Amino acid sequence: MTYSASKERYATMKYNRVGRSGLKLPAVSLGLWHNFGGIDTFENGRAMVRRAFDLGITHFDLANNYGPPPGSAEEMFGRLLATDMKSYRDEMVISTKAGYYMWEGPYGEWGSRKYLVASLDQSLKRMGLDYVDIFYHHRPDPDTPLEETMGALDHIVRSGKAQYVGISNYRAPQAREAIAILKQLGTPLLIHQPRYSMFDRWIEDELLDVLEENGVGSIAFSPLEQGLLTNRYLGGIPGDSRAAGASVFLNESSITPERLDKVRRLNDVAQERGQTLAQMALAWVLRGGRVTSVLIGASKVSQLDDNAAIVDNLSFSDEELSRIEAILKS
């Protein structure tokens, strides 16, 4: 069946300007890290991308190694672009990244110009695109000079293969240096993609200040702490959960009784706000306007509806923020 996007798709979603650029991103963006790979059901991924776009989620975030297997998320998304979304390409912000291991040999990861340019060429081929809107360096490279990595990003924009460039997982001093190099080259850094949630607040120490001072936007990944900040763990660790499966990012050893108690107390605050815990956790990340967008994952369409509904209640009272802070620091 031919896909026709909802005529109401822009009616409720909130769009935030990315730093001092001309680009806006939806408050909620969809990441294709999990559930969109070659081992997953294509029709489920298709339904989620369609529903996301119908909800006004115009930003879709990928990386060269997303799957599994690596590359398969981009391939799946390329099929959707060809069959469903082609006529909406100019309404979409599509991003991809390179930095983690992708192929054998000395040129298959990190931050050399050779790797970054080759990886983006492969990503464009998998997705059937001439360009992406945002291309990220996925992680700092301890061995390649930052001038080379940022020079590659500058080259990629000038070659027309990306409209903007970003960085991910950079600490504040590295981000400051990257910003300065790109500014000198004439290709401003658009955005930083750090991990950020109620339980992982490292970006508050210095990074957010650096980004704000330099007019760089931010999009937070893992804002729900791999599902911990949802109602899924209110009764303990489910047997079929990511934590029970010994995920690298969330496992039973990291879900202590003290942390579960915090989750339950946060849920009480969310209920008083008329939100689910996930909705409140996403809205909290966006509080104050310092974070441009929250990057969500999904395994079913209903999760998209739940998460997108945060735009109905993004404000916090001082009393609510104080209660949340007391819980997090307890």
Domain definitions of the chain by residue range: 15-227+287-299
Pairwise CA distance, residues 148 & 163, whole Å: 19
99/141 Cα distance (integer angstroms): 8
Task: Flag whether pLDDT at 79 surpasses 60.
Answer: yes
Three-state secondary structure call for residue 19: coil
Using one digit for the tens of pLDDT, what is the confidence trace for 155-210?
Answer: 999 999 999 999 999 999 999 999 999 999 999 999 999 999 999 999 999 999 99
Please give the pLDDT value at position 231.
Answer: 93
Question: Which ranges in 36-132 belong to alpha helices (H)?
Answer: 42-54, 72-80, 113-127
- Whether pLDDT at 289 is above 70: yes
Q: CA distances (Å), 161 to each of 6, 13, 132, in order?
A: 30, 28, 6
CA 314/CA 279 separation, integer angstroms: 9
pLDDT tens, position by position, 219-255 = 999 999 999 999 988 876 765 555 545 554 555 667 8
Confidence (pTM): 0.94
Segment 93-108, tens digit of pLDDT: 999 999 999 999 999 9
**In the structure, what pLDDT confidence band is assigned to residue 87 with cuts at 50, 70 and 90?**
very high
The pLDDT score that the predictor gives to residue 235 is 78
Query: Candidates 3.20.20.100, 3.30.9.10, 1.10.357.10, 3.40.109.10; correct CATH number of 15-227+287-299?
Result: 3.20.20.100
What's the pLDDT score for residue 255?
86
Q: Distances from the Cα of 329 to the Cαs of 80, 221, 229, 259, in angstroms?
A: 44, 22, 16, 11
Confidence of residue 17 (pLDDT cuts 50, 70, 90): very high
Q: Are 295 and 134 in contact (CB under 8 A)?
A: no
